[in-house]
């Protein structure tokens, strides 16, 4: 069995013990004579699986009782529309645009009401999170003026390698966060938010599940628009236990296993410590490198996605191409930024990161010893 050092941004590496358990249970899930793939979502066997997944997640994040946990489909992208459709009651919400996914959510929301641009870091190609004092002042002014249904942020910007290190102060306005690429990377104070959601394929499981955690008071009156598709109606989904229709049964099963793995390997604080150790190994290397440099501003760096480049597109391409010889995969940057990106999610090990660091140092030595003549 040859496993590679996988730095994919998503779908991404899963813990090997989780993969082994899934393989073990594939033909016969715990003596029931069938795979989870073949099981009715209405069976008691399956109900146990989804209940366990939710219970483990509730323990991990200390989710208060007045928050609902949903396992939905359609990716994070469907929630770009689902959030305004459920929460834009007065038709006005504030967006902080810190990258591609935040921008998509902002544009989607503008279809359903007034999306107020609170701040953007587009002027520096999204290499930072805007200054929180400025964001907070803007939120306070909007809240006191025409009002805001919610404030929306993308907490970790997967493509640009930036992350909030401080949340905006929203007062009474609910904070809504796309935490897709930092979910379960570090502790998170659920009570600071009205709604959090995450596509599972980054750090929490397989593609095809979106975890939504929402304060029940926000959805008690049903969606903001009568035309909201039933599937996107969070109140109905909560009442039906994420089983309004057939859920992604297998995906939720995988999530449950990943949640258990996070718990068994020490929980979120331990996870954060390991994740920063991995990311900082690369950030330190970048700071000391004469060839590579990080693309995110220091105080906005991500715990999960380390973005860097050489400044020479040909060298970047040579680095990405050469990585495969070292069993290193998926280090090409997103097409919007170019360069390289190493995603060091929970299941990526320190050994994986060390292998990448060794390759980077070797590549640097090789390319400073023999400067190109052209
Ligand atoms: C990957 C990602 C998305 C898009 O997720 P889909 O599940 O493909 O819709 C949205 N937001 C963030 C922060 C992401 O990392």
| pLDDT of amino acid 336 | 86
| pLDDT of amino acid 2 | 86
In a domain, 289, yes or no: yes
Are both 313 and 197 inside the same structural domain? no
Q: Is 201 annotated as a binding residue?
A: yes
18 pocket-lining for ligand 1 (C-beta < 6 Å): no
What is the residue range of 321's domain? 267-366
Choose the final residue of a domain: 248, 264, 280.
264
pTM above 0.95, yes or no: yes
In a domain, 279, yes or no: yes
Are both 332 and 200 inside the same structural domain? no
| pLDDT of amino acid 374 | 43
Q: Is 76 annotated as a binding residue?
A: yes
CATH number, position 358? 3.90.1150.10
10 pocket-lining for ligand 1 (C-beta < 6 Å): yes
Q: How many domains does the chain have?
A: 2
Q: Is 77 annotated as a binding residue?
A: yes
In a domain, 373, yes or no: no
What is residue 166's DSSP assignment? S
In a domain, 6, yes or no: no
Are both 117 and 164 inside the same structural domain? yes
In a domain, 349, yes or no: yes
Are both 170 and 300 inside the same structural domain? no
101 pocket-lining for ligand 1 (C-beta < 6 Å): yes
Q: For 247, what's the count of Cα atoms within 13 Å in the CB-facing half-sphere?
A: 29
75 pocket-lining for ligand 1 (C-beta < 6 Å): yes
Are both 107 and 255 inside the same structural domain? yes
Tell me which residues of the chain have a pLDDT lower than 50. 373-374
Are both 121 and 259 inside the same structural domain? yes
Choose the final residue of a domain: 220, 243, 264.
264
**Residue 127, both tokens:** 């290499």
DSSP 303-333: SSEEEEE-S-HHHHHHHHHHHGGGTEE--BP
Which uninterrupted H or E stretch holds 237?
A: helix 234-239
Choose the final residue of a domain: 231, 264, 297.
264
| pLDDT of amino acid 357 | 98
**Residue 105, both tokens:** 């959510």
Q: Is 138 annotated as a binding residue?
A: no
CA nearest to 266, candidates 351, 353, 346, 165: 346
Compute the C-alpha angle 281/282/287, nearest 5°: 100
154 pocket-lining for ligand 1 (C-beta < 6 Å): yes
For atom 13 of ligand 1, the residue with the nearest CA is 180
| pLDDT of amino acid 33 | 96
Are both 22 and 77 inside the same structural domain? yes
For atom 14 of ligand 1, the residue with the nearest CA is 180
**Residue 182, both tokens:** 């930092």
Q: Is 245 annotated as a binding residue?
A: yes
Probe residue for ligand 1, chosen from 73, 157, 158, 337 as the CB with the greatest number of ligand atoms within 8 Å: 158
- Cα of first residue to Cα of last residue in the chain, in angstroms, is 43
| pLDDT of amino acid 369 | 60
Cα separation of 305 and 22, whole Å?
27
Are both 255 and 171 inside the same structural domain? yes
Cα separation of 286 and 308, whole Å?
8
Are both 334 and 198 inside the same structural domain? no
Are both 275 and 246 inside the same structural domain? no
């Amino acid at each position: 069995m040859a496993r590679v050092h996988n730095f994919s941004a998503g779908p991404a590496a899963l813990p090997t013990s989780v993969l082994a358990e899934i393989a073990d249970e594939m033909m016969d899930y715990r003596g029931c004579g069938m795979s989870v793939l073949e099981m009715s979502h209405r069976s008691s066997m399956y109900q146990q699986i989804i209940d366990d997944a939710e219970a483990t997640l509730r323990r991990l994040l200390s989710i208060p009782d007045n928050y609902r946990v949903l396992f939905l489909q359609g990716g994070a992208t469907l929630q770009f529309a689902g959030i305004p459709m459920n929460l834009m009651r007065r038709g006005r919400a504030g967006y902080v645009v810190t990258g591609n996914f935040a921008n998509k959510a902002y544009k989607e929301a503008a279809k359903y009401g007034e999306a107020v641009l609170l701040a953007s870091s587009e002027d520096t190609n999204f290499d930072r999170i805007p200054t929180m004092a400025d964001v907070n002042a803007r939120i306070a002014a909007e809240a006191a003026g025409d009002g805001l249904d919610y404030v929306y942020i993308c907490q970790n910007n997967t493509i640009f390698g930036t992350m909030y290190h401080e949340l905006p102060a929203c007062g009474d306005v609910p904070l809504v966060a796309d935490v897709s690429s930092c979910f379960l990377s570090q502790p998170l104070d659920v009570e600071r938010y009205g709604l959090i959601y995450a596509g599972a394929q980054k750090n929490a499981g397989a593609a095809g599940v979106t975890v939504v955690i929402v304060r029940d008071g926000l959805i008690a009156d049903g969606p903001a628009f009568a035309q909201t598709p039933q599937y996107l109606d969070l109140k109905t989904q909560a009442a039906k236990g994420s089983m309004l229709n057939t859920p992604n049964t297998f995906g939720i099963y995988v999530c449950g296993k990943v949640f258990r793995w996070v718990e068994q390997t020490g929980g979120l604080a331990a996870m954060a410590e390991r994740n920063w150790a991995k990311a900082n190994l690369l950030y330190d290397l970048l700071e000391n490198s004469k060839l590579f440099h990080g693309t995110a501003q220091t105080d906005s760096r991500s715990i999960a996605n380390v973005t860097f480049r050489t400044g020479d597109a040909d060298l970047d391409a040579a680095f990405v191409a050469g990585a495969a010889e070292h069993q290193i995969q998926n280090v090409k940057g997103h097409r919007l930024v170019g360069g390289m990106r190493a995603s060091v999610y929970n299941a990526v090990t320190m050994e994986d990161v060390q292998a990448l660091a060794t390759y980077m140092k070797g590549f640097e030595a090789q390319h400073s010893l023999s400067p190109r003549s052209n």
